[in-house]
Homo-oligomer: A and B are copies of this chain.
């Protein structure tokens, strides 16, 4: 098999469904006013590219289950709008400077306007969910709203866990803590619900959506770990964010959690002091020192290995959730995305 990043099917369908969803999002934004400081900024993050993972999983799953690409489009737009709202607020919360190679929303337009644009994206996502009533009928439309409510709630709960760890300077976390947080913060909205919603629509409500839960959890956790690894070792031009930014932020990545567990007491003490320092006072040489410690203690290799194991488990779950479906490009696409999650370089 070709590696995922070179896999033309993954590349083609991710791009096709991303583009369809973006076009529909622009249609939803339409001619709304005011443009300045609001609706002109809503497409800013979505237009910067991105992988299109969520629309890909949603539309691909719908098609694999016998549906068409149009019927989940409104739901895919809602997920993408929520995702980008989450990114805009996340960048404010983390004080991040770059997103997809360009300045973050709050760096460009100020915190006030960024927070409000994120709020606007959240409310805009309700429109397509209401339109689902005509597209899918009232019963399915309602089911999708139930999915979205759960999705958003899990994300803010996961975000609270992660922000809380930084604020409390928690240095005693385990891999299990990390996975539990990632399930909530990332997996539900990035993988599980896009698949569930695609499956519900594609099967016209016939499939039990719980069949996607483990698949999406393993895949989403692999995705998040790979994301954090790329933040550490990636090429800044390809990745589009500050490399090493997570260390400076004190983000509790799997690498940091591993390192805090494996390093010597004196090293842990110094790390704890670094993490207790106000963020703007953390210095480059300390960031570099922690990076070197991560290499020394095999933390990055541990994270990569964990991601590979999770991807293996996801593959197993793929056959449970999708295995009995007739062969199709979309079925292969979903299968191959599992590899893409851990092989991608951006």
Contacts and interface: CB of A to CB of B under 8 A. Distances in A.
Interface residues of A, number: 44
Contact of A156 (B36, B123, B161): B123
Interface in A112-127: 112-113, 115-117, 119-120, 122-124, 126-127
Q: Which of A113, A116, A124, A145 has the largest number of chain B CB atoms within 10 A?
A: A116
A314 to B, nearest CB: 26
Given A37-B164, A156-B120, A157-B33, A127 B112 contact: no
Copies in the complex: 2
A130 B153 contact: no
A89 B106 CA distance: 14
A124 B111 contact: no
Q: Is the interface of A mostly helix, strand, loop or mixed?
A: helix
B38 A167 contact: no
A61 interface: no
Contacts of A93: 111-113, 115-116
Contact of A119 (B89, B126, B161): B89
Given A122-B122, A130-B146, A113 B160 contact: yes
B167 A37 contact: yes
A251 B130 CA distance: 35
Given A34-B161, A93-B116, A112-B166, 6 more contacts: A109-B167, A113-B163, A119-B122, A119-B159, A120-B160, A145-B145
